[in-house]
Structure 1
Amino acid sequence: MTTFKGLSCLMAICAISLTTFCQNSISEPKKEVQTSKKWYDKISLRGYAQVRYNRLLETNDKLKCEQCDKSWGENGGFFIRRGRLVLSGDISDRLYIYIQPDFASNVSNSFQHSLQIRDAYFDLALDTKKEYRLRFGQSKVPYGFENMQSSQNRLALDRADATNSPVSNERDLGVFFYYAPAEIRERFKYLVNSGLKGSGDYGVFAFGAYNGQNANKAELNNEPHIVSRITYPFKLKSGQIIEASVQAYTGKFVIEKTATKNKATESQYIDRRMAGSLIIYPQPFGFQAEYNIGEGPEFNPTTMKTEIKNLNGGYAQIMYRKKVGENHITPFVKYQYYNGGKKHEIDARRYIVKDLEIGAEWQLKDFFELTAIYTTSDRTFEDAALPVNNQVGNLLRLQAQFNF
């Protein structure tokens, strides 16, 4: 019932916003017709690719990370983690499109580098300043700073388990309302373009409804998830920018169970969380932390059933951004902890994660980045097929990123 109330609220916002849009469109004076570009001349093309190797100084080839990087551990080798092309642009004064396929999606351990849609959305501006927007299509769900932050900008090679587990691949299909003053939209843009590792413009306030089964997967329970987020990047007199956020979502999720082994009779579970984020941008010192709590499906190895259980976890990261000539070097340390299930994995696997990463990113102008990270990991990940499984180990991870 709560989910449908939220959906009704979103529909009301859409109706009011579209009315305003129509009124503004009618009341605006007509401009002189000038020779304008065709819509396809307004589209820009850019992208990036990441090539990884994770097996150096490895101490345990049974240590894996299905959510973050499937080339960890046994049978892992050189790996194209991402191969993205982005088509985007303002088609008109009120319509912006963004389409991003990934040519390196990993469907299975034996079949890699398939083409898959990551983003395909359309922003309808509801006013001339584009402070109010409706977004339709598949896009990132506004939950968490690191989830919103592009992998092209992030220091750590992978997002933290605790805050990334709510939405696998960070995306889903739905409709979202975003609001941000024009001045703050420019600030969001600056935080990305200046190299300060911003998250991009997902509004100061966000509210939306989405399928809830994660990107490129069909809706399975006829009940959408509801999400909302508030964030603000404060600019101090010194020029330092500090961003603080709160976010929450609620819904129900249908899990995939191991055939015959998982004794649970249900497949649909409550799925809700709330989180807080604090980011001090690296000018030159920086700090980033997020933590979330909630409840959702989690496999219980004692009862051999998937059950609704509490979860919690987050991460903290310190960094230092140093300019060397025309390049930048950013060393960082990140620690993450998570205790809970991962709904998008088989049986909603039970996880206890304790990872420490010490690394550095070397950015050569704007076209090449090299990142090296030494990881110490302690991971418990258990399901019906493997109900007792704790793996501990270390490894050196390398990534070359090409921006074009």
Structure 2
Amino acid sequence: MKHVPLAAAFWTMCGAAAAEGAPQAAIELYVDTATRQIYAEPGPGRQRLGRFVQASDAPPPAVAPAPVTSERAVAATTTVSTPPVRHWYDRIGIRGYVQMRYNHELGGDAKDLKSPGDRYIGRDQGFGIRRARVVISGDVTDRMSIYIQPDLASTPSGSTTGNFAQLRDAYADVWLDAGKTWRIRAGQSKIPFGWEDLQSSQNRIALDRADALNSAVRDERDLGVFLYWSPKDVKERFAYLQKSGLKGSGDYGMVGIGVYNGQGANRPDRNDQLHSVVHFSYPFKLANGQYLEVGADAYTGRFKVSTASVTLGGRTFTPGVDASEAGSTDRRVAAHVVYYPQPFGFQAEWTVGKGPQLDVGRRLVRTRSLRGGYAQLMYRFEGEQGIVIPYAKWQTYRGGSKFDTNAPAMRVDELEAGVEWQPSNAVELAVAFANMRRTDVGAAPYRRIDGRLLRVQLQVNY
């Protein structure tokens, strides 16, 4: 049986009704801002066009012209059709998602584990809301788009309560050409460094991002200005990989360059020197329909470390910083490869560089080498019960944790295996087992802790 798009089927039925003289009902239509396809129901990334009724193909009945007696009468009987005015706020859409988590200790010193990716890991924890995002986005004009995203489940440093509202994204895209291949992005947005950092946590399979890449940019975001370029065919591939359920990272340009403050999201610059970044990523479409994405990123700048009194080895001291007034050297390069799950998938990233790190022996924060990355396997099953994606992820990191006080050395070795089930587009359930060996970088003596966890996450999309 030949399948017909929903909108086309509707117009076909309306045309038949019109031919039979039946009354015609109006329908609301929506357009996907990325693919420009028409839909008969709302959804993520779709903008409302309005209510429409199928026009009859039959010629209108003949009407005898009324006698015209003067030019004034002609003007009075002439109707000028004007298209309805579409305001900018008619182009704005609202969507979002909520993640609820639960971690259960299975062995080792799991109660003492701490992870920057999940604050609900550790002692005396229960259910927690990991994210509660609301996205307001759309095309204000044909050449300018906006994107604003607060998170309603943030916890400020030092707070004993959670679920505060905090800004994640607030930026505008200014398109430089009619084909929308060149754009300037200005505001607080994701820094184009690391494929997994750019991938939304709404789409990510593993519960947390790998520390090696995520330690480069706090909350993956900062305030800056970026230039992105995506040719038309590449732009279409990025859109397909994200909207098809293959969990792409989105369109951050085939090529991107930019400058940003460098101190992390929602933090002011501290040294009057900007970080600079360059990004490249290309999604190949193979002859068999398989998608393979490869790319590389690099950034450089100076980072100002925060220090405080600490007790280590029986001595209390405040570390000095072996760097200029502008801050410590902070630079990295990274490479990624993603073989999208169709049905088998694989992704991996690796980074090397230099950054600030506490040298306990010298009681100094000084520039030291860093390295790390991850590899992940996954398989995508699709059936009547929805989509099921089992996965396994290994990660490692050896380097400083620059965003934490005193930039302590961070040692991570972790293996996570789990499965994600999507019974519908609105609901996702993930269950995973994690074997963690990681440094508690939140407080001295910066112990390395081993533990095993059962992790559960429920996500609802709206």
TM-score (structure 1 length as normaliser) = 0.89
Alpha-carbon separation, structure 2, partners of 1:265 and 1:341:
14
Alpha-carbon separation, structure 2, partners of 1:304 and 1:114:
36
**8 Å Cα contact 1:358/1:373 also seen in 2:** yes
Aligned to 2:453: 395
Aligned to 1:18: none
Aligned to 1:350: 409
Aligned to 1:307: 366
Distance 1:63 1:235, change over 3 A: farther
Distance 1:365 1:387, change over 3 A: same
Alpha-carbon separation, structure 2, partners of 1:167 and 1:402:
27
Alpha-carbon separation, structure 1, partners of 2:116 and 2:147:
25
Is the counterpart of residue 377 in structure 1 residue 428 in structure 2?
A: no
Alpha-carbon separation, structure 1, partners of 2:209 and 2:253:
21
Alpha-carbon separation, structure 2, partners of 1:139 and 1:257:
27
Gaps of 5+ in 1: 1-31
Instruction: Report the number of matched residues.
Output: 372
Alpha-carbon separation, structure 2, partners of 1:346 and 1:77:
27
Alpha-carbon separation, structure 2, partners of 1:388 and 1:122:
40
Structure 1 residue 395, shift from structure 2 partner: 0.5
Aligned to 2:44: none
Alpha-carbon separation, structure 2, partners of 1:181 and 1:333:
34
Alpha-carbon separation, structure 2, partners of 1:110 and 1:342:
23
Is the counterpart of residue 54 in structure 1 residue 103 in structure 2?
A: yes
CA displacement 1:337-374 (0-9 Å, x = unmatched): 00000111111121110000000000111000000110
* Secondary structure in 2 matching 1:348: coil
**8 Å Cα contact 2:98/2:132 also seen in 1:** yes
Alpha-carbon separation, structure 1, partners of 2:192 and 2:289:
26
Alpha-carbon separation, structure 1, partners of 2:222 and 2:389:
32
Structure 1 residue 56, shift from structure 2 partner: 4.4
Q: Partner amino acid for 1:83?
A: A
Q: 1:77 aligns with which of 122, 126, 132?
A: 126
Query: More relative contact order in 1 or in 2 (CA 8 Å, sep 6+)?
Result: 1
**8 Å Cα contact 2:408/2:446 also seen in 1:** no
Q: Which has the larger radius of gyration?
A: 2
Structure 1 residue 300, shift from structure 2 partner: 1.8
Structure 1 residue 301, shift from structure 2 partner: 2.4
* Secondary structure in 1 matching 2:141: coil
Q: Partner amino acid for 2:242?
A: V
Map residues 34-183 of structure 1 onto 2, 5 A cutoff: 34-108=83-157, 110-183=160-233
Aligned to 1:24: none
Aligned to 2:320: 264
CA displacement 1:14-50 (0-9 Å, x = unmatched): xxxxxxxxxxxxxxxxxx9843321111100000000
* Secondary structure in 1 matching 2:292: strand
**8 Å Cα contact 2:228/2:254 also seen in 1:** yes
Is the counterpart of residue 292 in structure 1 residue 351 in structure 2?
A: yes
Bigger drift between 295-304 and 192-201 goes to: 295-304
Q: Partner amino acid for 1:44?
A: G
Distance 1:332 1:259, change over 3 A: same
Q: Partner amino acid for 1:334?
A: K
Aligned to 1:365: 424
Alpha-carbon separation, structure 2, partners of 1:303 and 1:36:
69
TM-score (structure 2 length as normaliser) = 0.78
Structure 1 residue 388, shift from structure 2 partner: 5.0
CA displacement 1:248-306 (0-9 Å, x = unmatched): 00000111112373321457211000000000000000000000000000112222321
Q: Partner amino acid for 2:246?
A: L
Aligned to 1:334: 393
Alpha-carbon separation, structure 2, partners of 1:111 and 1:217:
21
Alpha-carbon separation, structure 1, partners of 2:254 and 2:110:
43
% identical aligned pairs:
46
**8 Å Cα contact 2:113/2:440 also seen in 1:** no
Aligned to 1:204: 254
Aligned to 1:184: 234
Structure 1 segments (4+ residues) deviating >4 Å: none
* Secondary structure in 2 matching 1:107: coil
Bigger drift between 314-323 and 292-301 goes to: 292-301
